[in-house]
Amino acid sequence: MTEKPIGLARGLTNYGDSAFSLYLRRSFARSMGYSSAALARPVVGIAYSGSGFNNCHRAFPELLAAVKRGVTAAGGLPIEFPTISLGEVFLNPTSLMFRNLMSMDTEEMIRAQPMDAVVLMGGCDKTVPAQLMGAASADLPAVQLVAGPMMTGRYRGERLGACTDCRRFWAKYRAGDVSSEEIGEIENNLAVTAGTCAVMGTASTMACIAEALGMSLPGTAAIPAVHADRLRAGEATGALAAELARKPRRPSEIITEKSVENALRVLLALGGSTNAIIHLTAIAGRLGIRIPLTRLNELSETTPVLVNLKPTGPHYMEDFYAGGGVGAILRELKPVLNLDCIDVSGETLGDRIEAETNLFVDRDVVRPASAPLEDKGGLIALFGSLAPRGAILKRSAADHSLFEKEGRAVVFTSLEDLAARMDDPDLDVTPDDFLVLQNAGPTSPSGMPEAGYLPIPGKLARAGVKDMVRISDARMSGTAFGTIVLHVTPEAAQGGPLALVQNGDRIRLSVAQKCIDLLLDEAELARRRAEDERKRAARTAPKRGYAKLYHDTVLQADQGCDFDFLRG
Ligand code: FES
């Protein structure tokens, strides 16, 4: 039996003579100064997403050196390769639109290049799900290494962290409580180091999910980007990848129905980002694992919120790291977790928890399950005539006094309409109304941006209104808060009932019953549906390039917004 090729001998270019192909590849590799001994080692690829357009990955050059040190010390040959990077705030129309592109880039480059294992270096919001999706599809041994969160800044004695405080101060500025000069000073102090947003936003949530899934080394999710432990985590990740290159353990062995359920539990206990449900659905979907939103609700009823971080609590990611990190949550959730799941190192979750004894936990940051922040999970799915396939509400970040309510719809038909009229002094709106944004879903021209956190209309904000029920098919930043119903599915651009809502309609929200209903009779709905179909038929879709691929193949939010042809 011939041995499977390793390292540079894998996946040779086919010239019809494999010995020639290897000879040619080695001679070009030698031009980079590698010795014969180095070229004989198993290769650890490092998917590198550093970019001048990604502030969160600014510390990657030093972290990369640490990973390479670990790979080399463990007998592998580290070779980094670039993939596209997704710097959250630098992308138009929205970073989500490019998550699938990055996942394809990652998958294909893992598959096409000669490597035996891969380290995935990501961090900023969409990069970690993109890399995990790509790695799951390629199914080569892979370890996720995240950038780690930013440290907080200071403003007049107050700690600041992107990006919950960005929104908090902007709301104050809109209400006239903060001057232009002050908002300029705040801008200088919101994001003061390398690393991902300092709160439990999407990046931090996905880092914790990667660890809970078992795809990154235990204890590494929350280490700040600039902490020396982050470099040690890089070195250890490199060493593990070199081991995996010799003794493969594939993503499909780690990401299973059971580990996905563990990750969902952790997401709920974190009070984590609403985006994470889309991303986890997409990652699991690559391996044929489905996450029905009804299952999310079942888990949510039996998973307490334990983590007291912004946007729902007062603390930041650096406090979470010092206060116990993901391990502290896992130990509290032990009775409801699937303990036989293995992680990248081959250790079971049960063994990990067993080994973590006498560790310090800051109980103001990670609460015990016996005294949680809330006894039910942070996220729930709502269903009803407005959202037949579901919508998401982050109940841990919402105003509970708005949970059982009927309101009058104030409708914005697009983001442009929202921008044009939100601050109009003549806008007919009261604090008891429900703000509705249409046409901001996956196939809309805006590509499902984080626009679901609709601003409070200017005149109400100035009058002191802090929260209202807001409903859309958009997403919301993981760092935002409010009574915000998101991901309404099917979206308006695909003819979902959200498209049929008009000013003055009545909508009923019941968090207790997990429902959201448009209170219209069937005859009126049918009339409006026919009208909407006519309008949609007249719309033009993108005709070329990635925008066309995205528009034609992206799935709805309940299927993770993956491309239909990429799912497992
Ligand atoms: Fe990169 Fe927030 S901008 S994580």
Nearest atom within ligand 1 for CA of residue 196:
4
Q: How far is CA 264 from CA 213, 220, 257, 292, 337, in A?
A: 9, 18, 11, 12, 10
Ligand 1 pocket mutation pick from 196, 204, 317 by most atoms within 8 angstroms of CB:
196
- Reported as a single tens digit per residue, the pLDDT across 286-317 is 999 999 999 999 999 999 999 999 988 999 99
Q: Is the CB of 88 under 6 A from ligand 1?
A: yes
Nearest atom within ligand 1 for CA of residue 479:
2
Structure tokens at 77: 């040959």
Q: What is the pLDDT of residue 2?
A: 60
pLDDT at residue 62 tops 90: yes
Helices and strands (DSSP H and E) totals, the chain? 20, 14
β-sheet bridge partners, residue 160: 153
Mean residue pLDDT across the chain: 96
Q: How much is the pTM?
A: 0.96
Nearest atom within ligand 1 for CA of residue 56:
1
Q: How far is CA 222 from CA 319, 321, 399, in A?
A: 9, 5, 28
pLDDT at residue 7 tops 80: yes
- Reported as a single tens digit per residue, the pLDDT across 189-213 is 999 999 999 999 999 999 999 999 9
Helix (H, G, I), strand (E, B) or coil at 423: coil
Q: Cα–Cα distance between 248 and 214 in angstroms, integer?
A: 15
Q: What is the pLDDT of residue 432?
A: 97
Taken in order of first residue, the domains within the chain and their CATH numbers are 41-151+193-355 (no CATH), 153-187 (no CATH), 379-566 (3.50.30.80)
Q: Ligand 1 centre and the CA of 89: distance in Å? A: 7
CB 171 within 8 A of CB 245: no
Ligand 1 pocket mutation pick from 54, 99, 102, 125 by most atoms within 8 angstroms of CB:
125
Q: What is the arithmetic mean of pLDDT over 461-478? A: 93
Q: How far is CA 30 from the centre of its chain?
A: 40
Q: Please state, as a whole number, how many other Cβ atoms lie within 10 Å of the Cβ of residue 338.
A: 16
Q: Cα–Cα distance between 519 and 503 in angstroms, integer?
A: 13
Q: What is the pLDDT of residue 300?
A: 96
